[in-house]
Amino acid sequence: MLKLSSKSGHFSKNMDKNQSKDRIEKLKKWLQEWNQKYFTGSGETDVSEGARDQLKRELEELEAKFPEFITPDSPTQRVGAPLSGKLPKITHKTRKMSLNDVFSTTELEEWGERVRKFIPLEKPEFFCELKIDGLNVAVWYENGELMKAITRGDGLIGEDITHAIRTIDSIPLQLSEPATLEISGEVFMPRVAFKKLNAEISQKNIMRKKSSKREFSEFANPRNAAAGSVRQLNPAIAARRDLAMFFYTLGENNLQNPPCTQVEVLMRFEKLGLPTSPYHHLVNEISEIEKIFDNWGKQRDLLAFDIDGIVVKINSLAQQKKMGFTSKSPRGMIAFKFPAEQVSTVIENIEIQVGRTGVLTPVAILQPVVVAGSTVSRATLHNFEEMEKKDVRIGDTVVIQKAGDIIPEIVSVIRDLRLKNSVKIFPPKNCPICDSKIFKTSEVALRCMNLNCGAIHREMIEHFVSKAALEIDGLGQKVVDVLIENNLIEDVADLFLIDKEELLQLPFFQEKKAGNLIDSLQKAKKVHLEKLLFGLGIRFVGEVSASDIAKEFQNSSGETLSDFIEFAKNKEAEEWLEIEGIGEKVAESLQNWFSVKKNLQLLEKLEKVGIEIIFEEKSPQKLSGKTFVITGSLENHSRQGIKDTIKKFGGKVSSSISAKTSFLIAGAGGGSKLKKAKELNVKIVSEKDFERMIL
């Protein structure tokens, strides 16, 4: 073990400038290597953490004495200046997608069958790695220097957390070569660091009790602690919390001889100095994946960090591309999740909620219980048929779990513990809010059809101002209720007509709070179209569908909300279906919504109160006005990739050939689409022809 005196910097006191420069370089290199070994587990460290801290202090003193030798990649430069406000938003270079989950060997085997159907002539290898329970973050390096770190966000836009990610010792500020690349991975808090953090919070609370100050809440689990840490405006807080990160995905890059497999991706990352997980396996059969899953299920508590399953990927990146994507997920990889933690509790009541689409949902109010690291006091019963099937009653002792470790649900009732006075809840005949008659649609759900129902009205407004929509701070449920009760709003457009003096007349509104809300409303007037569309609460229109519609509208050269009204109001369902990503249910719902005069009037009113739609900067519209259909097996592009490129350059993608089709991009085995294109004299082009179009 290396031993140092108790005084830091003793070695450097008598050095001249040149000696100090040399010492600084050696200290930087040593500390970077020590951090790499320690935080990634990639090698043994023969120096204690305490000794490391002393060497870091020596480096700090030398740099303070000779600031001209400070460089951005120095271990001392990982903490920047605190931010003064909210985290800025950044658009990802490529859309970030989520993995589909499977929870049983049957579901895993079904995924394996789908893989074989997509690549029937090729035998895939499967790459298995631990699914770390952390926070997905994308990182950009330019010419080898760390430039940006962004949360996953909604997949299109994330939060800038560069200031916090720079504090993670295992992440190099400068790569070993001047590469420009976009990568992503998982930020997590090791269990030791998590326990240490909560112990510090507990100690602070003991001291605060003595002074009657408000206590701080301890974190429920390491993931929450990690997510909260990287979102701190002051990077010094993140720096104190010993976060770590493993990288696993390579995006846009300028690497020479880029990797062809997932195994090669990790090898390249390690060569660049990027931390990766040492726990991964390469297998040939689904049955081998099941053994790996079972093994880690038994050993997960021995790890230094939390995991909630394993991730299985096709090892070949070319085969991954051939598999393509759904609207949300890559087909060439899957998350095989561990069974959710199950606990028992008692149902204290069953409430009936009315959602923004009028659906009535029974919700169990539970005696609070901790499940998978967080406290749960409510669980959905989904619908009345499900409640009847499980025979759930007030007073019952039930088993609950978090489906996919996220949504609390009731698994079963322990009938042997049922109370004699348990209460069975029957489906209502009238809405519990407005007393209107309840209808059962073609679905399982019961629905209140009264659009003036107070619950629907409130839920729609809350949805409109939510984070996924217009993200208006200060408009929680209580505030919305007060605004409605005082007749200040009838619809979402009325929100933008409220003035500060009206707010000051309401309960719990002081000068600052009222001013902040008005500021938030003014800021929200400039909104991305996809956010506005999602906020309108059109049935079946989710964030992905809204984004697809917004891109189609932008490609049509529309600019204003008035333009969008004209774009949408007379569209038939068949026309909506021509938009890539829009299915039949969504198309019918869009046609119905935009055919209602009241809805169009709402859009017009929104424009009158100052709503202005904005767009991301567009790429050169070389394919504007052109419609493409794709058929056959492509060699150089994934199907999703070529679709994204077409849209990026202003073109449209259709799933079927018609006289309006401009080009058919044909790969091997074109089939019926190729035949029909010839019949309609549609121009047929190869991948290389297409590439020349966008040069």
What are the structure tokens assigned to 135, written together? 């926070």
Active-site entry in 131, 321, 531, 643: 131
418 and 355 co-located in one domain: yes
Please provide the size of the chain in residues: 695
Given 440, 465, 485, the domain boundary residue is 440
395 and 516 together in one domain: no
Write down the pLDDT at residue 160: 93
Q: Are residues 174 and 214 in the same domain?
A: yes
Place of tokens 């953490």: 49
Closest CA to 353 of 392, 371, 379, 374: 379
In a domain, 82, yes or no: no
Higher-confidence position of 352 and 674: 352
Look up 131 and say whether it is catalytic.
yes
Determine what percent of the chain is predicted with pLDDT higher than 70.
89
Buried b / exposed e along 183-195 (16+ C-beta atoms within 10 A): bbbbbbbbeebbe
129 pairs with which residues across the strands? 280, 311
In a domain, 144, yes or no: yes
More confident residue, 6 or 314: 314
The answer to whether residues 97 and 325 touch, using CB atoms and an 8 Å cutoff, is: yes
Contact 67, 80 (CB under 8 A): no
Does the pTM exceed 0.75? no
- Report the candidate in 656, 658, 655, 660 with the shortest Cα–Cα distance to residue 625: 660
Contact 151, 186 (CB under 8 A): no
- Are 227 and 208 in the same domain? yes
| E strand or H helix at 502 | helix 500-504
Q: Which pLDDT band holds residue 11 (cuts at 50, 70, 90)? A: very low
Phi, psi of 227 (to 5 degrees): -65, -40
Q: Are residues 520 and 535 in the same domain?
A: no
Can you list the alpha helix ranges (DSSP code H) found in 347-453?
Answer: 384-390
- What's the CA gap between 557 and 563, in Å, rounded? 9
Query: Domain of 586: which CATH number?
Result: 1.10.150.20
Q: Distance between CA 209 and CA 134 in Å, rounded? A: 32
Residue 5 has pLDDT above 50, yes or no: no
**Which pLDDT score, from 0 to 100, does residue 102 have?**
87
Give the model's confidence band at 85: pLDDT under 50 very low, under 70 low, under 90 confident, else very high: low
Question: Is position 663 within any domain?
Answer: yes
Say if residue 198 is in the same domain as residue 298: yes
How does residue 42 score in pLDDT terms, banded at 50, 70 and 90? very low
| 599 found inside a domain | yes
Contact 352, 427 (CB under 8 A): no
The total number of structural domains that make up the chain: 6
Q: State pLDDT tens for residues 359-382.
A: 899 999 998 887 766 788 999 898
Find out whether 1 and 51 touch, Cβ atoms under 8 Å.
yes
Structural domain boundaries, residue 639: 627-693
